Amino acid sequence: MSKKVQILMSSYNGEKFIRKQLDSIVGQDYEVSLLIRDDGSTDRTVDIIKEYCEKYDFIRLVEGQNIGVIKSFFELIRLSDDDMDYYSMADQDDIWFKDKIGRAVNVLDGMSKDKPCLYCGAQTLIDGEDNILQVKMLDVKFRPGFGNSLVENIATGCTCVINKALRDLAATYEPEHTIMHDWWLYMLASSMGEVYYDEKPVMYYRQHGNNTMGSRTNYIEEFKERFKRFSSNRGKLYNQMVSFSEKYMKSLSKNDAETLKIILNYRKDLGCRIWCIFSRKVYRQRMLDNLIFKILFFIDHI
């Protein structure tokens, strides 16, 4: 029997690209339902979605006030149907491969049903004209883990598919501080359940404007740019860990709880700061990123 999958999409002023995304969802080779929450669009986004709602009975639209992408996705999780097996996150401007949902279901079917589980994966980057972007970065074998989730998010939201246990957990509590909803899901699943990262791209992920990645070939310039970007999040990462610890510290394993406590004390205790620098329990996936974060730990800039 096929598993029931609901896709959760937050839209906002997406008239330029949303048709392509909706077409790729309609074209999935796995039966799905789609719940869209519009976050107060002022262009033709809602009109376009309504056209698809009239044409396809498995698409439902909820019109909401503008509350921002993070709160919008948490609201979608709360509004999602309770009788689904799996829930998939979706942005409004990407293009999915037709087997995206089917591949995720095959993986999740082999994972725990009782623990919060998360499937996520790689993407092929495209620009605003659907041209594939050549990203010059060294390939890396992703190693999901709680120590990684504390300092890096590898679960790009539009690739995420979660089981009901993770959906139920996320629906009961919206953190005061989180950098993104998908990062929060990664923290939950990596600490209390299972995470699977699919190394094979599952979709075309659109980059446009200042969001374009991977254009630098000079590693010194790349280092400077990434250091500047990571430094700009000072305080946000720490506050996210505080929010997580306040709610879930007692639910963590002994090792994970110890790791989180040490990181939270790094500002006050030099020994904790040194531990963060040299420990392999806390890490980013790429060597350059990991080096930058160790430096940021050392200079008290997280």
Tens digits of residue pLDDT in 81-130: 999 999 999 999 999 999 999 999 999 999 999 999 999 999 999 999 99
Cα–Cα distance between 91 and 202 in angstroms, integer?
A: 14
Cα–Cα distance between 101 and 107 in angstroms, integer?
A: 10
Binned at pLDDT 50, 70 and 90, residue 224 comes out as low
Nearest to 288 by CA among 123, 152, 165: 152
Tokens of 36: 């869209």
Nearest to 172 by CA among 74, 243, 240, 39: 74
Nearest to 221 by CA among 126, 131, 136: 136
Residues in the chain: 302
Give the β-pairing of 33-39 and 5-11.
Answer: parallel
Tens digits of residue pLDDT in 29-60: 999 999 999 999 999 999 999 999 999 999 99
- Compute the mean pLDDT over every residue in the chain, rounded to the nearest whole number: 91
Top pLDDT among 226 and 275 is at 275
pTM: 0.92
pLDDT reading at 298 higher than 60: yes
What does the DSSP 8-state code read for residue 298?
H
What does the DSSP 8-state code read for residue 71?
H
Give residue 164's Cα distance to chain centre. Answer: 17
Give the β-pairing of 117-121 and 194-198.
Answer: parallel
Cα–Cα distance between 202 and 222 in angstroms, integer?
A: 26
Nearest to 40 by CA among 62, 21, 22, 18: 62
State mean pLDDT over 267-291: 86
Cα–Cα distance between 249 and 257 in angstroms, integer?
A: 6
Which SS3 state, helix, strand or coil, does residue 258 take?
A: helix
Q: Which residues contact 95 (CB under 8 A, 6 or more apart)?
A: 20, 21, 24, 126, 130, 203, 204, 206
What are 124's strand-pairing partners? Answer: 204
Annotate 158-209 with DSSP letters as a single string: GG-EEEHHHHHHHHT---SS-S-HHHHHHHHHHHHSEEEEESS--EEEE--G
